[in-house]
Every structure is written in C-alpha cells, then in structure tokens.
Structure 1
Amino acid sequence: MSPGTLPRRIGRRDVAAFARGCAVLGCGGGGGVTLAERLARDAVERSGPVRVVDLDELPPDALVMPCGMLGSPLVFEERLPTGDEPAELAAAVRDVHGRPVDALMPFQLAGANGLIPLAWAAVLGLPLADADGTGRPMPNMATVMGLAGVPPTPAFVVDGAGQSITIRARTRERFVTTAFGVLAGVGGLGAFAFELMEAAVARRAALRGTVSRALAIGRAALGRAGSVESALGGGRVLVRGHVRHLRHHGPEQRTGGSLMIDSADGDRSLRVEFQEEFLLALDGGRVVAATPDTIVLFATETRRPLLIDELREDLLVTAIAADGPAAWRTPEGLALAGPAAFGFDLAGEAPR
C-alpha cells in the first residue's frame, strides 16, 4: 500500500502496522500502544475487519463520532476497559441526538487513542472514517474541528460500569474544565466522545486521510513498504546518534525535560525538548522542528518508535521530523499547538 492509499478494510493482519503508525504519531507520548493494539486485534478477530471510509463516501447528514479514551495512559494500562464502553457511548449519543451514530473517528490519531476507535468500530459494526482531529497529541482536547468552529458539546463520558454523563457547556473553556472534573469523578479514565458532527461538516473540519497515513507509516516502520520519511509525507532524518545528557526538569519524569543526541560521526548534536511528547528540536541552537510538527525518536537497531519513558543514556536513536498539518500552522492553530503554547519562547523564529 502506498502512502495516501485508502485501505478498504483494516483486518487482523493490519492491526500491528496501524499500531506502529499510531505509535510514531504519538511523538514519544500518547501512551504505549501494546494494550490498545491487543484490544483492537481481539475486536477485529471477533467481529471482522473494519471498513475504512473516506468522508466523501458518507451521506452528508451521516453522524460522525470523534471518540477515544480520556485520562491518564497509566490508568488505562492498569484498569482494563470492561468492553461495554462503545455500546454505552453509542446509546448515550442516540438518546441525546435522537439518531444512531453512523461512523466513528479518532479524535486524536496518536498513541493508544488511534487504536481505540478501531476496536470500537469493530464492536459496533460501524465504519471508521479516514480522518482525525489532531494528527499528533495535543493538550486540553484541542482539535482542528474546534479551530473550524465545531461546538464541543453535547459531549459524552462513560466509565464502562453503567455510568454515563452528558456535558453541555456554553464555552470551550468551560467544556474543558467540566470534562476533566467529570474525569476525576469516574476514576481518572473514561470513554469519551465530543465534537460530533455530520459528514458534510467533517469534510471541511477534520484532518483527512490520516488513518490511511498511519497505516502506511506503520508498514514502513515495520520494514514492509517504503521509508518512514516518505510515509510521513516529506519526513526528514535530523540525526542518528547516541542519547546524552538526558535530564528531567522536575522530580517526576512527566514534568518535562531535554536530551542531546550526539551524531555518530561526532560532528554535531541535536537538542530535543519534551514534556509529555517531543516538542522541539534544535541543531546548533537553530530550530529544525517544533510542535505541531511530528517529532519521533526511533531505536535505530529495531526501528521502533520510543516513548519518552523508554529513553536512556547511550541509547542509539534516529530522530525524524515531518511538518505538522497545515491547519495547525495558522496563527490560531499555533496559539493552541505551537511552541509558545508549551512555554517555549523562540524569539520570533517560526517552526521549520
């Protein structure tokens, strides 16, 4: 499958590649994909392959549900989903909208949350739209649909134990505050759906072709077809070398930090700044990649994308970057997803 080619179905044999692509797009965060990959594979084995549809294939009034898990990746790995979440979400949506969901879509196609909607689509027997809302992890539930003016509510949270909460908010700020308050009330993890929209709206508001792209990236990362750089759509190798000077800025590893990668020939060093994901790469003090760009570190010998928690001194890595989606590179998008949103002052230098 070449980059950008729409897969008609994601079956059992495709799940590993899709999971690897989601891990790449996690940019060192987004949670490990091992558990989510297993859930997706089991769901596809039980219910059959998931049909992947271009948004143009759906009727204009089809109801598209961006969804995923909201909460800590650690809680997700420690507290297994019950399996009731997709049916409970779909029922909550039907009760409020008075109509069934027609297609699912990842609200964030990165890390575990790229795979969860695939599993749910299999369980519900619904298609998965070839689109998502972020292209990489984003803070505070920021999405390109929000940039396009899609209202976030009514939004839905279920905990898999029969508890369902509907959120209605007048502003996006109030929505985010309420959503995290609800999350705390259901134990720090819940199945989540928001920014529901008809397909006609999704066609202009969502990032399109991203499920296909993740599958192509994963195939390349697994050595099955092409290069990761090509699958990323113009990705570039920043450096190959060893991790040095790995530092965390606080007592907890999740408070952010930095590292240096000394090139194998010793001629240069790349500095990478991270918080929950890789956010900034500088070569000789010059910014060569910055959020909303995709920035990923691979274990050179295995071609596996690394989580920040997996980094160690002297590890041999390859750093690759690719430009972020155009929707995030507008002034409004950069205000939510650019370096300044994470506290980096680049003195007017734009991401490259």
Structure 2
Amino acid sequence: MAAVELRQVVKSYDGKNTVIHGIDLDIRQGEFCVFVGPSGCGKSTLLRMIAGLESISAGEVRIGGQVVNDKPPRSRDIAMVFQDYALYPHKTLYDNMAFGLQLRKTPEDEIKRRVMDAARLLRIDHMLDRRPAALSGGQRQRVAIGRAIVRQPEVFLFDEPLSNLDAQLRHEMRTEIKRLHQRLGATMIYVTHDQVEAMTLADRIAVLSAGRKMQYDTPDAIYNRPAALFVAGFTGAPPMNLVNATVTDGVADVGGGVRVPLPPRLAPRGGASMLGVRPENLRLAPEAGDIALPATVSLLEPLGAETLVTLKVGGAEVIARLSASFHEAPGTPLQVHVNPAHLHLFDPQSGAALA
C-alpha cells in the first residue's frame, strides 16, 4: 500500500475547456478516501488521472512518493474496479480473476493461491467454475473486486462500483467493501455520487463541485462543520436547511417577523447571509440554552422510525427530523427549538462558511 499525493492537478481539453482546477490532495497510506459530488463534478476524471487512463494537463500525481504523470497504467501498481464489472463473459470466475496474473507470467501455484484467498475473502469460492452470466449483479461485482485483490496493488481505485445495483444490494456490497478495507488495510480511492456511501465508507472525503475541491476532511467534519455552502447543501439526507437571512447586531432576520439570536462565533457577521441548521437539530422539547422559533406545520413524511416534518418558519420552509409519534396536522402552530451551537452561517456570494 502507498500514499497518493495530488499537487495542483489540472485537466483541460484543447487548452480551453478546463474540467479539473488545480486540486491538491494528500491520501495517506492505508486510508479509504472517497471522491463525492454531483454528476459532472470531475470525480471520475480525477480518478482516471490517478490511474493513468486520462492525461494530466498540469501538476503532479505521486504514488508512493514517485511522480507517475508519464507512467502508463500498468506501471503504476494500481488496480481498478469499474462500474460495469468488465468481466470476460466466456471465462469462468476463476479465469477472470486469474487472467491479469497469467499475463504477467505469474507461476501457476501462486495464481491459484491468490485467487483462492481472494475468493474465500469475498465468499465466492464455491462458484469459481461458473461464468458471469450465471451470477447476480452483486456476485459479479465481487468477482471484479476479487480480480483487483489478486493483483496485490499499492492502491485500489473504485469508479462508482455499486451504481448498477438495487438499494438492498448496494447496502450489502457497501458493508463488504468496508470490511474488505479493514482486513486488507490497503489504500483505497472510491468515487461515488451517493453521499451516504461517502459518509459510511470513508476515512476522509473530498467533496467536489465543477472540478474544484470544496472540502477535504473526515465524515464528521464534512457533516458537522461544512466549509462551504455547497457542502452543507449536498451532504445529509435530507440536507442542511439553508435560509436567506439578514444579520444585524448579532441577530439573523429570516423574514415573517422571526429573528434568530446568533452565538458569539457568528455574531460579528453583518448583512445578507445564509443561515443553516440540520433537520435533526430542530426539536420540540427545549433544552437549556435553546432558541425558540415559532413555526407552522406544512407537510408530514412518515418514514417508520421517524417523521420528516416541513415547517414554515418566518419567510422560509425548513425540514425537521422528528419522532415517529409526531402526528400534528398541516396548519398546526407550534414552537421548535435549536441550540445556537448548531447554527451555521454562509456568505451567499462566495459560499464560504462564516465564523
């Protein structure tokens, strides 16, 4: 396993259309790093540049301390798992997993040992004589991952490997990949548009937007201390509530006569801002130090274990994550409470978090 470093990496086509804008990243040895962002943000392009499948217009990519800009993919000691599995339909699972080692003239007994070890790890050792057509989507993805494992690479690269699976299989395979990383301790870089996958799998997450790095941090920091408006609105299901506000003398006016006192860390800010709060930080029962906000119920979305409640607060609508026992009808007035420590403030122009 090896560390991966990106230094001011740029990708442009024809010198005009720039899709990656000077990204810096340090991915530690043995770390699970996830690139996440909406479609078209450049996450797969960045992964392919690390793999050597896309050329680098400027900057450096280092694997294990060595600059690999001009090295072909086969010389970078990486293994890649693709979205579409990329299995040979006429070969058995054993031969699919062994094929790369056979091309490298690896001794047959070593090939057999590696394939069997990987198959047992992924619980597919009982089906190695089958062909891909006889497998489910999840089993095919296990074979694709097994083919990467037998390579024993310095770095594993995953390009949206679960996007073709249904919700239940995605959950199962996400668990398998997490366990795989714990067992192998390998450096893994994983691309997804699904922020739930990112939060559950990653040691650190790089949130990308329009080819730019918006934040690179732990899942906890990404969720609880978003550095940018985009990060706040992209992470979470549902995402952070973001409300237009005008800040004067330490108080945020959100319209409709509702004024929210700000904590000292936010109070110096003045003028137009975006006020943010996570749905789970809005509650009905007050606690010491809470701010009370008048609200009106607009919509209920029961989810079994909890209920998402859309509330009219001042001039905006926000979502609160409340208990499943909440059954107030739309139009009901009530008060919601929030600890000021859970409030966030963003510059609406630059998108930067304010503190």
TM norm structure 2: 0.26
Higher-Rg structure is: 2
Q: Which structure is higher in strand share?
A: 2
What is the TM-score normalised by the length of structure 1?
A: 0.26
Of Structure 1 and Structure 2, the greater helix share is in 1
RCO comparison, higher one (Cα < 8 Å, 6+)? 1
